[in-house]
Amino acid sequence: MSDAETLLEQAWRVFYLDHLKAEQLGRELLRITEGSALHGYAWFHIAFAQIRVGDAKLAAEASAHARNAFSRNNDLRGLALCSEVQAIELPGLVREPIDLFINHNSLASTHKLLGHVDEPLMYGYRALEEAERVPWPGPRIVALSNLGAYHFVLCNFERSRLLTENAFASALEAQARGLIGACGANLIEIYHASGMPSKAAEKARWLLDNPQHLLPGELERYSSYLALGLLCGGDLDAAQGWLDRGVPVSMGSGDGVALWAMVQALCFMMRGATSKARELAEGTLRERSDRGLTDAAYDLMRLRELAANASEKLGDATNALLHFRESRRLYETTVGQSARASQIALEVDFKTAQAQRERDMAQEAKQVADANSQRLEVLNRALEAKVAEAEQLQTRLREQAVRDALTGLYNRRYLYEAAPGYIELAHRRRGMLSVVLIDIDHFKRVNDTYGYHVGDVVLQNLAQLLTQRLRKSDIVCRFGGEEFAIVMPEVSSAQASAVIEALMKDFERTRVPAGDQPLAGQTYSAGVAEFPADGSGLESLLRVADRQLYHAKQAGRARVAWARDRLHDS
């Protein structure tokens, strides 16, 4: 992220938490984004901060700058944000939760200013829904607090209280300077209306005792609320002190006059200045109706009530009745709207609960699926291990089945399995192949003289010699007892005989430790048969090799016999 992008991200984060900080970031951004695509957003943050500060002129100027910058860069999202209300009619253009939140929230406030009842709630709840998707807390706190305010003017005090308490706690947790004070002030009025004067007083005290959680000079703006809270606590002088500062610059809709007058009239009543209370209540009502000002029905209703109470106390029954009737009418209107608002809230609650349930169920299903796939994986691994084990076992068994235990050479069974393939290959290639039978000479004597153990070592020595010296492609088998069979592909009987004769010299030289006198000078006899000259299959070749072996033994042992006469034939 570039420096400018980082600054913008920070500005969005504190946008609702601390608009003064957001403005400061906007101004820093302004300096480094001259001519860049982010310039419009710098002005946008300054404009929004000014709207909250209440400086309409500055806000309008900054907003015009933002619009210009967005136009220059043809930034449709930026333009849509500038004309928030229109943006909602440009689906697809603005899709980020933060943008949607701003749009819904602005629509809600616009409708509220227009005196509508259902729309502020509907857009307010939509704003809350989008706010839940924004990864930082400001929008959610704003949405909760606004919804609390909408329900308040409709006399849904219970809902209003819960929403606003939630907003206040979240604002405190997020250290949202600029929202803590607003929520706290609203709570004072809500507690008062809900018949919880001690809680109203407690909240006012908290605000007065904790200026570090508020923006500089913020308490001034809540003077009417603080006075109301102090009245609830019975501190008339302190309440009057705050009222004497005059009507504060309004934070929300309306101009704050009705609330100020209501609290002041209440203060007069509590001091026993009944005529002053009636004068103020009636005067305010008259002035507001003369000027065609729209106030929340709730504020007017409270003023009427005060005027009625004061009139009654002063013995003016006619006037009291008039005020009571008007108060009653306002109350009924409000209650009617309030019922509708409750219904909207209930619908939203239901939808939210349903969505939550669906989310929970999807979550649960996913967890079960995850657990199952994990189990499956474990089972798979176990199965793979078992298969590998079985394969190893099989290989071992197979090796054991074709190997001779004493010498480690292939056994006779393997010879019968493998040799036909070699012969077949030689046949197809029109090549040759030799089969050799070796029989150790006078082996019985070795056993008889030195014992079976020494005989075994002689067998192992010869086996080792054969495997080391013959080619990898030759099959060397222990054919039985002290007899060995060898299949030598691509080798004539003459070549095979030469190899076997040469090997015999080494075999003779092999010394076997056997008591004082090491055993040496062992010999063998061998017979060789050649494919295809001596036979076309293993059996016939073995027969010929055996006959040659017999000849070799007959001729005096320690020699290799093969059909030498074939040399003269071919």
**What residue ranges bind ligand GH3 (CB under 6 A)?**
406, 439-444, 447, 452, 455-456, 459, 481-482, 553, 557
The entry of ligand GH3, Mg ion, none near residue 455 (CB within 5 to 8 angstroms by kind) is ligand GH3
The entry of ligand GH3, Mg ion, none near residue 235 (CB within 5 to 8 angstroms by kind) is none
Q: Would you say 218 or 404 has its CB closer to ligand GH3? A: 404
519 phi, psi to nearest 5 deg: -85, 130
Closest residue to ligand GH3 in the complex (CB): 455
Please list the alpha-helical segments (H only) found in 118-222: 118-133, 138-153, 157-173, 180-193, 197-209
The entry of Mg ion, ligand GH3, none near residue 456 (CB within 5 to 8 angstroms by kind) is ligand GH3
The entry of ligand GH3, Mg ion, none near residue 452 (CB within 5 to 8 angstroms by kind) is ligand GH3
Q: Tell which residue, 487, 452, 462, 454, has the closest CA to residue 407.
A: 462
How far apart are alpha carbons 293 and 285 in whole angstroms? Answer: 10
Q: Would you say 320 or 440 has its CB closer to ligand GH3? A: 440
Q: Would you say 232 or 440 has its CB closer to Mg ion? A: 440
Shortest Å, Cβ 406 to ligand GH3: 6
Q: Would you say 234 or 481 has its CB closer to ligand GH3? A: 481
Q: Would you say 206 or 443 has its CB closer to ligand GH3? A: 443
Shortest Å, Cβ 493 to Mg ion: 21
Residue 404: how many other CB atoms lie within 10 Å = 19
Q: What angle do CA 221, 290, 334 make, to 5 degrees?
A: 65
Shortest Å, Cβ 524 to Mg ion: 8
CB 541 within 8 A of CB 435: yes
The entry of ligand GH3, Mg ion, none near residue 130 (CB within 5 to 8 angstroms by kind) is none
Q: Would you say 462 or 475 has its CB closer to Mg ion? A: 462
Shortest Å, Cβ 399 to ligand GH3: 20
Q: Would you say 250 or 447 has its CB closer to ligand GH3? A: 447
Q: Would you say 412 or 442 has its CB closer to ligand GH3? A: 442
Q: What is the DSSP code (8-state) at residue 83?
A: T
Segment (H or E) for 270: helix 257-271
Residues that bind Mg ion (CB under 5 A): 439-440, 443, 482
Segment (H or E) for 175: none
CB 164 within 8 A of CB 204: no
Residues 6+ apart with CB under 8 A from 248: 220, 221, 222, 223, 224, 256, 260
Shortest Å, Cβ 479 to Mg ion: 9
First CA to last CA distance, the chain: 89
Shortest Å, Cβ 494 to ligand GH3: 24
CB 122 within 8 A of CB 105: no
Residues 6+ apart with CB under 8 A from 354: none
The entry of ligand GH3, Mg ion, none near residue 412 (CB within 5 to 8 angstroms by kind) is none
Shortest Å, Cβ 448 to Mg ion: 13
The entry of Mg ion, ligand GH3, none near residue 444 (CB within 5 to 8 angstroms by kind) is ligand GH3
CB 559 within 8 A of CB 495: no
The entry of Mg ion, ligand GH3, none near residue 340 (CB within 5 to 8 angstroms by kind) is none
The region that residue 54 occupies, defined by phi over 0 for left and psi between -120 and 50 for alpha, beta otherwise, is: left
Shortest Å, Cβ 546 to Mg ion: 11
